[in-house]
Amino acid sequence: MNALYIIPILAILILVHEIGHFVTARLVGIKVEEFGIGLPPRLFGIRRNGIIYSINLIPLGGFVRVLGEDGKSFDPGSMQAKSRLQRTLFISAGSLMNFLLAFVLMTALVGIQGEARMNVYVSEVQPDSPAQAAGWQSGDRFLTVAGKEVTSVDQVVAITEEHAGQPMPVTLLRNGQTVETEVVPRENPPPGSGRTAHREPARGDAQVVGTHPCEGVAKACLHWVFVQHVGDRSRLERLLRLSRRGQAQQSDEQRDERGDRPHRPSLRR
């Protein structure tokens, strides 16, 4: 069903596009013969000031028909009789209107939703871990850690490192209610485990899911989700180094398979 949304979206984009052509044609003096909503065949239309305003059968956007667009008319009001600048404005007006529509919609979304901010959540708590002892649950949202407001995974990790072996107050939001907890991060966590979780070689401690706002004009209305473990930083760095090394090795192997060698130009007589 979601795929059907493309129909009204395209209809609006095309209609706004054609409105741009219509308005620009009137401004530069190009005679508009017909402005139609929908695509032919025509259901009905009315003529005003020499322009036919029509409603058409196929409800997908619209169209503008101007004098001279077929290249056969060179009357003063035809498109062919206008200067290059005027024709360029007329042709590009539709695309400019689509850009303007996108800007207006994104500005409206920012105004309605407000500026987006990153939130950090507990995704999973390992059994017999400091996080479980503190009463953390999956879906809890971090508000403050050690009295500091947190909006990123890196902040949670850094503060946890600073409080290794010390009681650390953590304020969570659970089902709309504020929950005050206290956790004691491990001073010497086992290899492959973090300071607040039970040892598990293949995984970190509590998974944290955050939403990161996109950069640019639409940063307050577009987001992506990423998952990161709050655990041993050295383990994460080691995995990243191994990943880069594997990518470099794969690139070398691909060059060997292609047989890339220095090219020597051939001499032809």
Question: Would you please indicate which residues are annotated as catalytic (active-site) residues?
Answer: 18
Residue 127 reports pLDDT greater than 50: yes
pLDDT band at 203, cuts 50/70/90?
Answer: very low
- Domain architecture of the chain: domains with CATH: 2-113 (no CATH), 120-251 (2.30.42.10)
Q: What is the pTM assigned to this prediction?
A: 0.47
Q: What's the pLDDT score for residue 198?
A: 31
Q: Which tens digits make up the pLDDT trace of 85-125?
A: 999 999 999 999 999 999 998 888 878 876 666 788 888 88
The string of DSSP codes covering 187-234 is SSPPTT--TTS---TTS-SSEEEEEEEPSSTTTTT-EEEEEEE-S-HH
Task: Give the pLDDT mean for 156-171.
Answer: 91
